[in-house]
Structure 1
């Protein structure tokens, strides 16, 4: 499964559209639990729009958040890039964005979840497209990607590059993406095959 995901990431990286530098960016999304919505420009092509970031932070916060935490623009950039590359038409449905510690514990989230720092988004995706969307996200090489096909979403975050299948037995543990170049370099350093 992991090999297939890594292979798909390589293929989709080649197929992913290249963004023009400086082009304004828009997002249309809805939080599935709170019903909060955002539809408009969020980035001018050089920097995130501060007003839009305040709105997005509120939309992406869980219902227990009294004061939303400022959402990470890098995570929103990943979401926008994946949505564009996959041809997802809006509004994107977000199941989870920023989580308070209480909500994170209630949903059995990881203690160091990127959701706690407002750097993760669980994006609702049709089951038939989970692998494709996950492969595109992994191909960006810009954060964590978790696939949850039985639950119908892809986790995207701006943390370290890693991947996991949250629905597989024991699959909820993120693993670093394979470093093939590093492995080849190590093999060249150790020609006898001894480790």
Structure 2
């Protein structure tokens, strides 16, 4: 008498199938833009400013294209509130901010502490603190200092660093995280 039927399912075949699924389903964090490409057709940024009282909840990218009017609004929102100077923000920074926000799975908007800084504002802040760089990426519209009350500095910095899109600075004493689209690096405690 011969046996008929299917071969038994082995533990090894189940684990192999699971591992293959996990590898293909896992996001790759080669950079923030790459992460966002894998997350859908919409990019959104949510922030508020304690300095100006303004809020923004903006879809700024749909189906592979930045929305010109939305980007203009983001630039205005991230202006130097001290001088009212507006600069076109490097959208790679906004993408990193949006990607990190998505990774943290939070609905709370970022509190924007600093986006664009005029050279005058940067010099004034530098005279008051050793932590302000002489050639800060804020002056190029390539950096933002952000805070979330529902997430720690550690959680925020890990999410931003996972994007591998630029610099991430931890400022635990001041309770904020710096995100920029410069060279990939981390600092702070």
For normalisation by structure 2, the TM-score amounts to 0.73
- State the SS of the aligned residue for 2:174: coil
- State which of 133, 141, 152 in structure 2 corresponds to 1:129: 152
In the superposition, relative to structure 1, how do residues 106 and 127 fare at CA in structure 2: closer, same or farther (>3 Å)? farther
Please name the residue that 2:69 is paired with.
Answer: 51
Report the equivalent of 2:140: 117
Larger radius of gyration between Structure 1 and Structure 2: 2
Aligned residue for 1:25? Answer: 43
Q: Aligned-pair distance for 1:63?
A: 1.6
Is 1:147–2:170 an aligned residue pair?
yes
Aligned to 1:96: 114
Give 1:101 deviation, angstroms.
Answer: 0.9
* RMSD value, Cα: 2.4
For structure 1, the residue ranges without an aligned partner over 5 or more in a row are 1-12, 169-195
Structure 2 unaligned spans of 5+: 1-28, 127-131
Please give the secondary structure, in 2, of the residue aligned with 1:39.
Answer: strand
Given the two structures, how large is their TM-score scaled by the length of structure 1?
Answer: 0.71
| 1:159 equivalent in alignment to 2:182 | yes
* Distance in 2 separating the partners of 1:45 and 1:128: 30
CA drift of 1:128 comes to 6.0
On the 8 A contact 2:119/2:139 being kept in 1, the answer is yes
In the alignment, the residues of structure 2 paired with residue 128 and residue 88 of structure 1 have an alpha-carbon distance, to the nearest angstrom, of 9
Residues of 2 paired with 1:47 and 1:157: CA distance?
A: 21
Task: Show CA shifts across 1:36-85 (max 9, x none).
Answer: 22112111131221111111111001123444111111000000000110
Give 3-state SS (helix, strand or coil) of 1:111's partner.
coil
Cα distance, 1:27 vs structure 2 = 1.7
SS at match of 2:65: coil
Matched, 1:83 2:106: no
| Partner SS state of residue 107, structure 1 | helix
Aligned in 2, Cα 1:147/1:27: closer, same or farther, shift over 3 Å?
A: same
Runs of 4+ residues over 6 Å off in structure 1:
none
Cα distance, 1:136 vs structure 2: 1.8
Q: Which SS does the other structure have where 1:68 is aligned?
A: coil
Residue 60 (1) aligns with residue 83 (2): no
Hey, what does 1:172 align to over in structure 2?
Answer: none
Aligned residues: 153
